[in-house]
Amino acid sequence: MGQFYKRLEALPTLGMGISTEYGAFQAEGSLDLERLKKTLPQCAEVLELGIEVIKGLDTDALNWIKDKQPTTYHFLDINLDDPNDFDDEWLAQVRALIELAQPAWLCGDAGLWHHGPRSEGHMLLLPPILTKDSAYALADGIIKLREETGLEVLPENPPGHIYVGPLHILDFFAIVLERADTGMLLDLAHLSIYQNAMGFSLETGIDGFPIDKVIEVHMAGGSHKVHQGLAYIADDHSPVILPETWSLFNMIADQLTELRAVIFECERNSFESCQAPLLELRQHLDMHLPSHSAWRSK
Ligand SMILES: [Fe+2]
């Protein structure tokens, strides 16, 4: 038995929030963070900072952390399964950003952010190869980053339409969590895309997955598309959450006993288009998460 559940006691419940990346709120037609904070504070309790260390934090992020508001650090530039990716310069920059933003934990898609050396704006993001060896390599990287930073590192199931390897993505991450003695950021939009792309039913793989290790959930909109006869779901972060993603949430809600944050990834949409979906999500969380969960202890 690992120490994870013991360490969990020190992790705060952050509540519901939104995500950002460098410059996202300044892009045309994007969400007005100030207005959101003023109008719907219950939907903006935490800001997830999507970070490439080479870019650092933008003005909106700096304004947010100036008032010591809660954050999480979502990395966008580390291949956790590659020991060569943990160079001293990158680690020093990560530590400096942690010092500045004081995030509650680190998290991020556990896939390949780049091929070859890290470079600005690479953001390739391929899913991991779904084998046991690959899960072990990923777990080693999670442990290393946790030890180097002193913060929990929660891997996120990445998006993708083509996957290599024999394991179901939930079985893959169950191995990673066990081996790294850690919790998870479960992106339910990504999971619905995966189940659809693989031709699985929505509930496939959920039975064997430790949902009580899910510390953070991502919700995001998507769109059904067809290209040259191929039907797929695009992970476009539009403001409307698909019924498949809601179904997954409802399927696991009563087992989310250790949930501490829910992020709605909608920052590149207008306040007007996000307002109703944000409120709907907030009401849904308050109504459907178990009353004995970490969520309620906030
Ligand atoms: Fe996500």
Distance 187 CA to ligand 1 centre (A): 5
Distance 218 CA to ligand 1 centre (A): 5
| The one-letter amino acid at 156 | E
Q: What token pair was written down for 275?
A: 């307002």
With bands split at pLDDT 50, 70 and 90, how would you rate the model's confidence at 121? confident
Distance 156 CA to ligand 1 centre (A): 7
Q: What pLDDT is stored for residue 2 in this prediction? A: 75
Q: What pLDDT is stored for residue 201 in this prediction? A: 98
With bands split at pLDDT 50, 70 and 90, how would you rate the model's confidence at 133? very high
User: Per-residue pLDDT for 298 more than 70?
Assistant: no
**Could you report the per-residue pLDDT of 174-211, keeping only the tens digit for each?**
999 999 999 999 999 999 999 999 999 999 999 999 99
CB 141: neighbour CB atoms within 10 A?
22
CB 85: neighbour CB atoms within 10 A?
19
Mean pLDDT of 231-242: 93
Distance 147 CA to ligand 1 centre (A): 24
With bands split at pLDDT 50, 70 and 90, how would you rate the model's confidence at 116? confident
User: Per-residue pLDDT for 1 more than 70?
Assistant: no
- Give this prediction's pTM: 0.96
Q: How far is CA 35 from CA 44, 49, 200, 236, in A?
A: 10, 18, 40, 23
User: Of 74, 181, 56, which Cα lies nearest the Cα of 125?
Assistant: 74
Average pLDDT, the chain: 95
Q: Delineate the domains of the chain, giving CATH numbers in brackets.
A: 11-297 (3.20.20.150)
Q: What pLDDT is stored for residue 124 in this prediction? A: 85
Distance CA 297, CA 185 (A): 19
Distance 20 CA to ligand 1 centre (A): 11
Residues 248, 211 contacting (CB under 8 angstroms): no
Distance 265 CA to ligand 1 centre (A): 7
| Side-chain half-sphere CA neighbours of 1 within 13 A | 3
Q: What pLDDT is stored for residue 83 in this prediction? A: 95
User: Of 143, 219, 222, which Cα lies nearest the Cα of 181?
Assistant: 143
Q: What pLDDT is stored for residue 40 in this prediction? A: 97
User: Per-residue pLDDT for 297 more than 70?
Assistant: no
290 vs 217, more confident: 217
Distance CA 210, CA 171 (A): 10
- Identify the three-state secondary structure at position 275: helix
Distance CA 48, CA 109 (A): 13
**Could you report the per-residue pLDDT of 46-86, keeping only the tens digit for each?**
999 999 999 999 999 999 999 999 999 999 999 999 999 99
191 vs 292, more confident: 191
Distance 89 CA to ligand 1 centre (A): 26
Q: What token pair was written down for 124?
A: 């390739």
Beta bridge partners of 16: 262
Distance CA 157, CA 188 (A): 9
Residues 43, 274 contacting (CB under 8 angstroms): no
Residues 183, 116 contacting (CB under 8 angstroms): no
- Identify the three-state secondary structure at position 98: helix
User: Per-residue pLDDT for 296 more than 80?
Assistant: no
Distance 2 CA to ligand 1 centre (A): 26
Q: What pLDDT is stored for residue 81 in this prediction? A: 96
